[in-house]
């Protein structure tokens, strides 16, 4: 196998929201500079966090007092998309240069490529999941309000079970490097999600909750039990490598990445000027 077929896999510990987002960006910078190989990282969140997309207007879309009262962190991602509640989930992030031969150059192609690896891991766990094309599962008439949550409907080869979204992903490209990260729902509470968002009326809030319940699912619902996140991460990593013909090498974050992540956390992701920029 050549260097482009060897990936680093990191099974990280639970961290708070700003730290998780800082580490994802630090890996992007390290890989762009040639300091580390392509990387697949798995992590969880402690405490729970609401991440908002790069372009979202936080004061118009997030119920900040509810987040504070429930002990939920709020952090802005460098990727786009809608709000995501990171609580009972396993999160993955994939970082790889855009110019490696096996990675399709288009946005849809790269989503499909990486989703194949995730899908194989879920199937190994007994989950009858599939990739869904944009608009293939749901009509536009049932979409959520613009300030709704990420799990309103599948898009870009995201992974669904029985036409309900199980993994929501977002992607950004920076300095010739792709970052794709996403939430693999172990369990899901539509009522908790909507309690953290702002709506123009109670009717709109109720409609949002109903649609989320109809359009999102979790491994708890699919399997009847909440799987062990450590076992799940290992299974997905193994099948990701097998399916995409990659050598997955267990590793850890480098000292450079940890130092850079600490800087990014302090100066960016934990700073109000970033979180409240829109």
For the chain, where are the E strands, in sequence order? 6-11, 39-43, 49-52, 73-76, 84-86, 89-97, 130-132, 158-161, 164-174, 177-185, 247-250
Counting Cα atoms < 13 Å in the Cβ hemisphere of 25 gives 19
Backbone angles phi, psi at 71, to 5 degrees: 70, 30
CB burial readout 251-262, b (16+ within 10 A) else e: eebeeebeebbe
Q: Which of 114, 150, 190, 212 is catalytic?
A: 150
76/137 Cα distance (integer angstroms): 28
Q: Is 67 a catalytic residue?
A: no
The C-alpha angle 180, 208, 45, rounded to 5 degrees, equals: 40
Backbone angles phi, psi at 62, to 5 degrees: -115, 135
Q: Which residues are catalytic?
A: 150
């Amino acid at each position: 196998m050549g260097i482009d077929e060897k990936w680093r896999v990191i099974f990280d510990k639970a961290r708070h929201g700003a730290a998780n987002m800082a580490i994802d960006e630090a890996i992007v910078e390290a890989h762009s500079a040639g300091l580390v190989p392509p990387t697949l990282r798995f992590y969880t969140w402690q405490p729970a966090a609401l991440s908002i997309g790069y372009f979202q207007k936080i004061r118009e879309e997030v119920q900040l007092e509810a987040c504070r009262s429930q002990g939920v962190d709020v952090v802005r991602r460098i990727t786009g998309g809608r709000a995501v509640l990171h609580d009972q989930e396993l999160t993955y992030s994939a970082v790889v240069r855009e110019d490696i031969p096996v990675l399709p150059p288009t946005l849809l192609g790269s989503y499909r490529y990486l989703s194949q690896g995730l899908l194989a891991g879920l199937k190994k766990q007994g989950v009858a999941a599939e990739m869904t094309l944009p608009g293939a599962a749901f009509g536009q008439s049932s979409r959520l309000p613009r300030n709704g949550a990420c799990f309103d409907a599948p898009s870009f080869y995201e992974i669904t079970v029985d036409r309900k979204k199980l993994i929501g992903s977002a992607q950004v490209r920076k300095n010739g490097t792709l970052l794709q990260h996403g939430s693999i729902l172990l369990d899901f509470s539509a009522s908790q999600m909507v309690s953290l968002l702002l709506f123009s009326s109670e009717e709109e809030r109720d409609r949002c909750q109903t649609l989320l319940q109809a359009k999102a699912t979790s491994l708890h619902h699919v399997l009847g039990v909440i799987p062990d996140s450590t076992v799940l991460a290992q299974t997905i990593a193994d099948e990701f490598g097998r399916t995409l013909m990659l050598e997955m090498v267990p590793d850890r974050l480098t000292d450079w990445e940890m130092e850079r992540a600490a800087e990014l956390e302090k100066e960016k992701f934990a700073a109000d000027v970033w979180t409240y920029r829109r």
